[in-house]
Amino acid sequence: MAHDLIRVIKERRSIREYLPKPIPREVLEDILDCGRLAPSARNIQPWLFVVSTEKEIKEGIAKLALYGKFIANAAACISVFCERDSKFLVEDGCAATQNMIIAAKAYGVDSCWVAGYERPYSEDIRELLGVPEKYKLISLISLGYSDKSASRPKKTLNEVVRWEKY
């Protein structure tokens, strides 16, 4: 129901503390499927999603990601890559990222988007994951069940909207 989706979008918040509870494989697969179906410029679909659930790999990513130390305690981390010669790699990768974050929330799985594009650690994470050079990291998504909630100040609609013209 559209109403459910709107609620999911409005209730999503970045959550950085997770319970030690794995995410079922079929849930992860459906989250990834929602990434696969995101819009992309000229429908090139330049993305590659690397799913990490093994402790050592998540710890390796966490060590490298400056503001993503909590990835070590996430149930999973999805690293979103796009082909580096793709014209709209950032937009396409971000569309897929947002789709997956919303899909996760619909399954009751919390997440946090961690910066990945042109960060000092982007290439190190690509190498750690054995991803070919033709790809560039766009984002990291930490995922997990959580009993935490967050409420962050948001701008009002009036602050961010102009109808017809400025």
Ligand X SMILES: Cc1cc2nc3c(=O)[nH]c(=O)nc-3n(C[C@H](O)[C@H](O)[C@H](O)COP(=O)(O)O)c2cc1C
- Three-state secondary structure call for residue 112: strand
Contacts to ligand X from residues 14-53, by CB under 6 A: 14, 16
Name the residue type at position 104: A
Angle at which helices 2-11 and 89-106 pack, to 10 degrees?
100
Residues 125 and 140 sit within 8 Å (Cβ to Cβ): yes
Q: How far apart are CA 101 and CA 9, in angstroms?
A: 9
Tell me the window of 35-43, 49-57, 74-82, 111-119 that interacts with ligand X (CB under 6 A).
Answer: 111-119
- Interaction between residue 114 and ligand X (CB under 6 A): yes
The helix (run of H) or strand (run of E) holding residue 142 is: strand 135-144
Per the structure block, which two tokens stand in for 164? 């017809």
Q: How far apart are CA 129 and CA 71, in angstroms?
A: 15
Show the CA angle centred on residue 27, arms to residues 24 and 28, nearest 5°.
90
Tell me the window of 45-53, 102-110, 112-120, 155-163 that interacts with ligand X (CB under 6 A).
Answer: 112-120
Closest distance of CB 118 from ligand X, Å: 11
Contacts to ligand X from residues 57-96, by CB under 6 A: 67-68
- Interaction between residue 115 and ligand X (CB under 6 A): yes
Closest distance of CB 79 from ligand X, Å: 13
* Nearer to ligand X among residue 46 and residue 68 (C-beta): 68
Which residue in this structure is represented by tokens 């990513």? 61
Contacts to ligand X from residues 146-165, by CB under 6 A: 150, 152
- Interaction between residue 9 and ligand X (CB under 6 A): no
Tell me the window of 11-19, 27-35, 39-47, 155-163 that interacts with ligand X (CB under 6 A).
Answer: 11-19
* Nearer to ligand X among residue 29 and residue 118 (C-beta): 118
**Contacts with ligand X, residue ranges (CB under 6 A):** 13-14, 16, 67-68, 112-115, 150, 152
